[in-house]
């Protein structure tokens, strides 16, 4: 009897990627197992988008990782549905949050903003380890750090308003990225020098896919520290500032074999 699933001859390549390749077929259809795996990944991505951030638990974890006080804020998007339908409201604070920062304003070198974005799961898993790794690098240098702000229903640009109200020279926004079908836990880092409302993405540097199965927190902290140091030295960020780092990881620095030539 013929096997119900016809294997794909490229099946060996699946060890090199999490992408859905070489799944085989059953007749003219996709096999049951890959179809169920796809549905599970889709459900996890949807859950990550709608998962509510717990600012209290996150604040405790961030304080333990950094020693800094934490301030809980909210964007002008009142709930999740509004946030998803009105991106503009996620880019600015509500009135109560703006009043909180008015009382906390001072002159800082760096403001750290942690926002749920499109994946609170990514923030809950990766924000504290990233900040712990970053603080280990900043502790030997002279950085005046603002209290960490935790923003619910926030988007990247909200960091510009927060840093402007805190009178910070630079801001780093840690935010949950749009979930992929194999990466519901991916966090992005956005650095802006001289932040103020109205800036575009051209003024920001982005480090993406920070997660255990992507760019590790230690590697991301290494890159972020370099960009912060260069931004302060050169007084700029965005398209004028390039990441010229080499990874500290020996595994990443080792020559890569090309499996297509083997």
CA-nearest of 109, 167, 172, 105 to 143 is 109
Does residue 177 have a known ligand-binding role? yes
| CA angle centred on 226, ends 150 and 110, rounded to 5° | 35
Structure tokens of 114? 């942690």
206 in a labelled binding site? yes
Residue 70 annotated as part of some ligand binding site: no
Phi-psi region of 224 (alpha: psi -120 to 50; beta: other; left: phi over 0): alpha
Q: Which residues are annotated as a binding site?
A: 156, 177, 206
Q: Which residues are annotated as a binding site for adenosylcob(III)alamin?
A: 156, 177, 206
């Amino acid at each position: 009897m013929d096997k119900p699933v016809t294997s794909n001859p490229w099946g060996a390549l699946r060890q090199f990627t999490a992408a859905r390749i070489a799944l085989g077929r059953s007749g003219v259809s996709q096999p049951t197992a890959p179809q169920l795996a796809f549905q599970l990944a889709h459900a996890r991505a949807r859950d990550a988008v709608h998962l509510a951030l717990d600012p209290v638990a996150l604040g405790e974890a961030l304080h333990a990782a950094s020693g800094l006080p934490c301030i809980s804020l909210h964007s002008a998007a009142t709930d999740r549905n509004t946030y998803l339908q009105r991106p503009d409201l996620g880019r600015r604070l509500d009135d109560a949050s703006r009043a909180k920062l008015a009382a906390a304003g001072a002159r800082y070198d760096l403001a750290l903003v942690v926002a749920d974005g499109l994946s609170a799961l990514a923030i809950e898993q990766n924000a504290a380890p990233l900040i712990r790794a970053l603080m280990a690098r900043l502790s030997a240098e002279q950085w005046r750090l603002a209290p960490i702000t935790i923003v619910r229903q926030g988007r990247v640009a909200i960091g510009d308003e927060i840093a402007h109200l805190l009178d910070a020279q630079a801001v780093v926004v840690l935010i949950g990225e749009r979930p992929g079908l194999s990466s519901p836990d991916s966090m992005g880092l956005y650095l802006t020098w001289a932040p103020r409302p109205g800036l575009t993405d051209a003024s920001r540097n982005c480090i993406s896919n920070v997660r255990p199965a992507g760019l590790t927190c230690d590697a991301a902290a290494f890159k972020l520290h370099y960009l912060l140091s260069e931004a302060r030295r050169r007084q700029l960020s965005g398209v004028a500032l390039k990441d010229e780092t080499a990874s500290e990881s020996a595994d990443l620095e080792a020559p890569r074999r090309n499996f297509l030539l083997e």
